[in-house]
Amino acid sequence: MKRPLLVVCLCLIVIACLRLLMDEDADMQLYRQFDSAKERLLLTGRVYKKEQDRFYLSSIIIHENAAVLQQENLKQTIKLQDNLICEYEGSERLKLGSDVTVLGDFALFSEATNPGEFSSRSYYASLKIAGCIKQVEIVAEGERYSGVADILYQLKQYWKKRLYQIFPSKEASVMCTMLLGENKETDRELKALYKRNGIVHILSISGLHITIVGISLYQLLRKLGVPTCAAAVIGGTILLLYGVLTGMSISATRAIGMYLIKMLSHVFGRTYDMLTALGIMGAVMVLQNPEYLRHAGFLLSFGAVLGIGVLYPALTGGEMKKSRVFQRKYRGRFMSIIAVLSNHTVNVVKQSLLSGVSVTLTTLPVMLWFYYEVPVYSMLLNLLILPLMGMVLCFGLFAMLLPGFGILGTVDCLVLTGYEWLCRLFEGLPFHTWNPGRPDAWQMAFYYAIWFTVVLLGNMRRKRKITVMDTYGKLVQPALLAVAVIILSVRISGTCKVTFLDVGQGDCIFVKSASGENYLFDCGSSSRDEVGRYVLLPFLKYNGIRKLDGVFVSHDDLDHKSGVEELLGFAKQEGITIERVYLPGEICAGMQLKGKTSSVLCLHPSKDFQGEDNASSQCFYVELWNDRGKEGKLTLLLTGDVDGEGEEMLTDKLRHYGIGGSAVLKVAHHGSRYATSEQFLRQFKPQVSVVSCGRYNSYGHPHPDTLTRLADAGSIVLTTPECGAVTVSLKKEIEVRTFLPLR
């Protein structure tokens, strides 16, 4: 069997994956039980990482839980991950490796409650961090600590300070991230620019750093006559210390581990196999923490190496080889040297392009699963910037480590300025971003089945097992990969649906018709910051939506319009087209918008209505039907914050148009007791009522009286605090789904 160790490692990874899937429900049940937990805890842990305003604890022991000590589930929740974050302004004075006893409020990280939304809980769970301790008081500190770790931390702070002395602030933040792993230092706008253009990976501690720090040092020591074993030990030790100093990120752990395996192969005189080393590191990391299998950084880091090690040889007929510029027979012949240089340049560009294609095609499903879009020109942009990255890192290291070499920072500044200029140039090109949305599991399975077929055919062509592939292989493989990409991007339409997003204390309703019209009714919150960027935008990208045919704002309160204002600010930059915004007063009762399979009728207020702000909320009756005709129809009433006199007029309009017994009601004013009267419910008779409000809000929404009236009217009531986003769709019949499992 070829590569038996790799096969064993893959089996171990599969076992870890199955174990993760089996334990998922139990873990989530514990999290849901303590979703509101803010318990005062006294606990002891070991400091393993610290930042300016927080430190991290491992080996947790709970001494006291003043509120719920008898509830063992809280202890189990913490023990599941074993690590905690403590928010504390004086973190820098603590010693790494020391035991500290702290008193503070334990809180879980927030979970995603909407499609596409980032889940802090899942992210930190993948790093084995269970929760956060706030309002921290240091009760006791141990005297013993890790001298090596503390020295490395002091060195890191010294070098960080030096980088800020050498570079301007923005460039210094980038170099701190590239060289020291200080992710929080990166200029936010610049990092977003890199991410939109597909080059944010250059900020990570990765294989390039290992090549420069580890392999270069090893080769230098060997040239100086140091024995193989000693050179490997010295290089490996320095590399491990560098990894600890930079925080041992996932990509750094993978790269350092593979380097150490390579050094072992040199020491024992064995052949180094990149794929076996990759499998060993994957198995080691996953067995230590199965949650890595859900971590985008882990999957992308390993996927990139897999693309170079597996797909690249299948597409090119062999492993990546370095071109030799000068050959003996050409020495001294000027024109021959020019010819060889030209040939070498073409080969390098071809190899770089094909390796970029291999990495992109291998990681494409992962990118779409986590980020829902890919920059179209990222391969070309990487082709332009990566050749200079080695120089940037080397010059940065020399400037940081050696006094008098700060002048090298000027070169790095010029290169980084060039990177930024290139990003902005590419961002202005048409079709900059491909946003098909998040693929389904079956699409990912089909994609990788075709990917595997391409690899198999490539290996057969290389071994001449299928002679026809010699002639047609260069066409068959790209054609199969094109089919795979098309399958990954297919979105089945023809179904209408409505999604009530969880924005906290506010409203946000997205309506999609079967024929592709997209409408947004309100988006705002008074309890959550930047809901436009962190809730609405990810939702749109998750669903592959780049155009809104209409945006309606019911009234001027921030909890209905703040997200809309954000959307208008970043829509162009994010490639979202907004056809029309309907502000309060621009549309009145009786006005109707009709699409191919949708109708939006304004019922309130009338043109001459002079009521207060809430009573003047715009109210819309929306009808949606599928392509097959109007037999199946989904109807909903969106009421904003209407109450009092406004609700009475709305009820009259419902009678006038003969509207009653409809499917869905967006309950007015977040479930306030002063709205959704019995008279209104007798007329409308909703089958499903959705209340959008903040969890544990200070207004007492939804009010028990309102919930009672809805229940008495025979309506099913769903609230966003309990359900997260609520989606109502029309298939053979009306289906209602909640983003969070109901308790």
Residue 561 lies in a domain: yes
Instruction: Evaluate whether residue 434 is within a structural domain.
Output: no
Q: Angle of helix 378-401 relative to helix 408-427, nearest 10 degrees?
A: 160
73 pLDDT band, cuts 50/70/90, is very low
Kindly state the average pLDDT of the residues 230-246.
90
DSSP assigned state of 428: T
Q: Are residues 519 and 454 in the same domain?
A: no
Could you tell me if residue 378 is inside a domain? no
For 397-415, write each residue's pLDDT tens digit. 999 998 888 888 999 999 9
How much of the chain exceeds pLDDT 70, in percent? 89
Binned at pLDDT 50, 70 and 90, residue 24 comes out as low
The Cα angle at residue 669 between residues 663 and 675, in degrees rounded to 5: 80
Dihedral Cα 253, 254, 260, 264, nearest 10 deg: 150
Are residues 522 and 660 both part of a single domain?
yes
Last residue of a domain, one of 84, 119, 145: 145
pLDDT for residue 328: 47
Examine the domain organization and report whether 464 and 558 are in the same domain. no
- In this prediction, residues 381-392 reach a mean pLDDT of 89
Residue 64: predicted pLDDT = 60
State whether 583 and 528 are in the same domain.
yes
Determine the pLDDT at residue 340.
55
| pLDDT value of position 520 | 98
At 426, is the pLDDT very low, low, confident or very high (cuts 50, 70, 90)? very high
Whether 483 and 525 share a structural domain:
no
pLDDT at 473 > cutoff 90: no
Q: Is the pLDDT of residue 395 over 60?
A: yes
Asked whether residue 714 carries a pLDDT value surpassing 90, the answer given is yes
- Give the highest mean pLDDT range of 173-182, 201-210, 461-470: 173-182
d(Cα 506, Cα 467) in Å, to the nearest integer? Answer: 65
Looking at the structure, do residues 463 and 528 belong to the same domain, yes or no? no
User: In the structure, what pLDDT confidence band is assigned to residue 607 with cuts at 50, 70 and 90?
Assistant: confident
- Residue from 504, 499, 509 nearest 640 by CA: 509
Looking at the fold, whether 626 and 673 belong to one and the same domain comes out as: yes
For the segment 110-144, what is each residue's pLDDT rounded down to a tens digit?
A: 889 999 999 998 888 888 888 899 999 999 998 89
Whether residue 664 lies inside any domain: the answer is yes
Q: Between 445 and 341, whose confidence is greater?
A: 445
681 and 697 part of one domain: yes
- pLDDT for 66: 44
Among the ranges given (28-32, 128-132, 160-164), the one the predictor scored with the smallest mean pLDDT: 28-32
Average pLDDT for 303-317? 89
Q: Is the pLDDT of residue 332 over 60?
A: no
Instruction: Give the chain's domain count.
Output: 3
In a domain, 667, yes or no: yes
Q: Give kind and range of the element (H or E) at residue 701.
A: none
* Band of residue 549 on the pLDDT scale cut at 50, 70, 90: very high
318 pLDDT higher than 90: no
The reported pLDDT for the residue numbered 65 is 54
Please compute the mean of the pLDDT values over residues 285-313 and round it to a whole number. 91
Name the pLDDT band for 692 (thresholds 50, 70, 90).
very high
Q: For residue 471, is pLDDT > 60?
A: no
- On the question of pLDDT at 632 being above 80, the answer is no
User: Which residue has better confidence, 586 or 470?
Assistant: 586
Q: Would the pTM count as exceeding 0.75? A: yes
> Domain of 106?
34-145
Q: Are 90 and 517 in contact (CB under 8 A)?
A: no
Q: Is the pLDDT of residue 30 over 60?
A: no
Give the residue with greater pLDDT, 223 vs 210: 223
Tell me how many helices (H) and strands (E) the chain has: 25, 23
> How many C-alpha atoms does 348 have within 13 Å on its Cβ side?
13
Domain CATH for 550: 3.60.15.10
Residue 484, in any domain of the structure: yes
Which residue, among 598, 632, 631, has the nearest Cα to 731 in the 3D structure? Answer: 632
Q: Are residues 445 and 541 in the same domain?
A: no
> For residue 23, is pLDDT > 80?
no
Joined tokens for residue 67: 């509120």
- Local structure of residue 323 (DSSP, 8 states): P
- State yes or no: pLDDT of 160 exceeds 50: yes
Is residue 25 scored above 60 in pLDDT?
Answer: no
Same domain, 598 and 456: no
289 versus 708: which is more confidently predicted?
Answer: 708
Q: Is the dihedral of CA 518, 522, 524, 527 positive or negative?
A: negative
CA distance 6 to 274: 10
The pLDDT mean for the chain works out to 86
pLDDT at residue 266 above 90? no
**CA 95 from chain center: how many Å?**
32
Over range 594-615, report the average pLDDT: 89
Boundary residue ending a domain (145, 166, 184): 145
How far, in Å, CA of 267 to CA of 443, rounded? 45
The sheet with strand 581-582 has its strands ordered as 581-582, 550-552, 518-523, 508-512, 496-500, 726-730, 734-738
Provide the percentage of residues in the chain whose pLDDT is more than 90.
Answer: 54
Q: What is the pLDDT of residue 158?
A: 93
* 276 vs 6: CA distance, rounded Å: 5
Same domain, yes or no: 650 and 704 = yes
Q: What is the CATH number of the domain that holds 104?
A: 2.40.50
Q: Is the pLDDT of residue 326 over 60?
A: no
* Least confident residue range of 152-161, 210-219, 305-314, 468-477: 468-477
Name the least confident of 143-147, 493-497, 512-516: 493-497
For residues 62 and 180, give the distance between their C-alpha atoms in angstroms, rounded to a whole number.
33
Sign of CA dihedral 169, 175, 181, 183: positive
> Is there a domain that residue 387 lies in?
no
Cis peptide before 365 (omega within 30 of 0): no
Interhelix angle 169-180/378-401, nearest 10 degrees: 90
pLDDT at 162: 93
Clarify whether residues 474 and 622 are in a common domain: no
Using the predicted structure, report yes or no on whether residue 61 has a pLDDT greater than 90: no
The label of the residue with tokens 């990280």 reads 109
35-58 pLDDT per residue, tens? 544 678 888 899 999 988 899 999
Residue 306 or residue 71, greater confidence: 306
- Select from 450, 467, 489 the last residue of a domain: 489
Residue 27, SS3 per DSSP:
helix
Rounded mean pLDDT, 648-656? 93
What's the pLDDT score for residue 485? 94
Q: What average pLDDT does range 628-648 have in this prediction?
A: 86
Q: Is residue 210 situated within a structural domain?
A: no
The predicted pLDDT at position 339 comes to 60
273 against 492, higher pLDDT: 273
Write down the pLDDT at residue 53.
87
Which range, 163-172, 381-390, 497-506, 612-621, is most confident?
497-506
C-alpha span between 80 and 631 (Å, rounded): 51
Q: Which residue has better confidence, 9 or 67?
A: 9
The set of residues, in sequence order, having a beta carbon less than 8 Å from that of 116 and lying 6+ positions away, is: 372, 438, 538, 539, 540, 541, 542, 543
d(CA 364, CA 485) in angstroms, rounded, equals: 9
pLDDT band at 454 (very low <50, low <70, confident <90, very high): very high
Over range 383-394, report the average pLDDT.
Answer: 89
